Amino acid sequence: MTVLTIQTVELCSAIGKCMSSPSSYASSMSSYQSGNPRAVAAHALRMLGEARARDVATHEKNLPAIEANKAVRARVEALMAEVGMPASYTERDTKSRARYPKTIRLDAGYLGDLRRHCRTDDSFDHATSTYERLKKEYDAYATRAEEEAKQADAKKAREAEALVEKRKADMELAAMLLRYQLPLESTWSDVLEALCEKDQRLDLAVAMQRTRGDWSEGPYRVKNALDRFQIETTEDKDIANDVLSCLEDFEDGRVFRDTSWSYGRLFAEAADQQLSTDVQKALQHAGDE
């Protein structure tokens, strides 16, 4: 008869030591990485994968021992059955407070000993189901982390772009102040006001374009600009009359875009095109202040 001995079976317990929440791994990471959801997700998935690999390796190593223990249990159970040893017994339920306590069925002692000392299950099935559940949760966390990281990257890019644009605007403002010898503390609004004083047609064009952008309070800007407008030439008269006609039954600021002497035409046909360009640039930046 072949001699059978009980073999040691190691439990597959690596997955059971993994964090239930992937974010919990942040506490074991460096301060630089712990605040990065993408890095935390990658670390968590790596730890989960390594734990799974250890359980798979343990299970594969256990297979010969499991088969040997199955043979031991089969022989012991067969021997007990051969000699007539019952596989179970009954006794009164000592925990019952009933007047006539019921009896409960219990496994024979040797079956309990076999379960305790002759393992044929290394919990690999349980470890596998736990792994599959955690993998879904970790993957979902990684997906959310990736989306958050993309949003954070996009925000940084926007902030960097805004900083560059601000620096460019500051340089443009400095150049404008030097070109027109304006006070260094001047804002874009100050620059716009100063430049409009240099050309009444550009002054009128600015009022028209501003009203095109917001006519909620009516065309008061255009009316004020016309009050400042001096008729010096026939063309000045044509411009004033054309813009005045836009004020009749005024309803929509877009009329100043579409009229014959529109603000676009006034800008384009200005006598000083450098001044016209600078006025339009100042108008653009003044709206951001």
Q: Under a CB-based contact definition with an 8 Å cutoff, are residues 240 and 231 in contact? A: yes
Residue 159's SS3 state is helix
Distance CA 17, CA 252 (A): 70
State the Rg of the chain over Cα. Answer: 43
Domain boundaries, the chain: 14-151, 183-287
List Cβ neighbours of 29 (8 Å cut-off, separation of 6 or more).
Answer: 39, 40, 43
For 215-236, what is each residue's pLDDT tens digit?
Answer: 999 999 999 999 999 999 999 9
List Cβ neighbours of 257 (8 Å cut-off, separation of 6 or more).
Answer: 212, 263, 264
Report the run of H or E that residue 283 belongs to, with start and end.
helix 273-286
What phi and psi, each to the nearest 5 degrees, are found at residue 237?
-65, -45
Residue 170 has what pLDDT?
86
Residue 269's SS3 state is coil
Residue 94 has what pLDDT?
74
Residue 87 has what pLDDT?
78
Flag whether the pTM goes above 0.75.
Answer: no
Q: Under a CB-based contact definition with an 8 Å cutoff, are residues 282 and 192 in contact? A: yes
Distance CA 243, CA 211 (A): 12
Helices 188-196/273-286 angle, 10° precision: 140
- Residue appearing with tokens 């014959």: 260
Residue 218 has what pLDDT?
94
Residue numbers in the chain where pLDDT is lower than 50: none
Residue 289 has what pLDDT?
54
For 110-144, what is each residue's pLDDT tens digit?
Answer: 788 888 889 999 999 999 999 999 999 999 999 99
Residue 33 has what pLDDT?
80
Give the number of other CB atoms < 10 A from CB of residue 283: 23
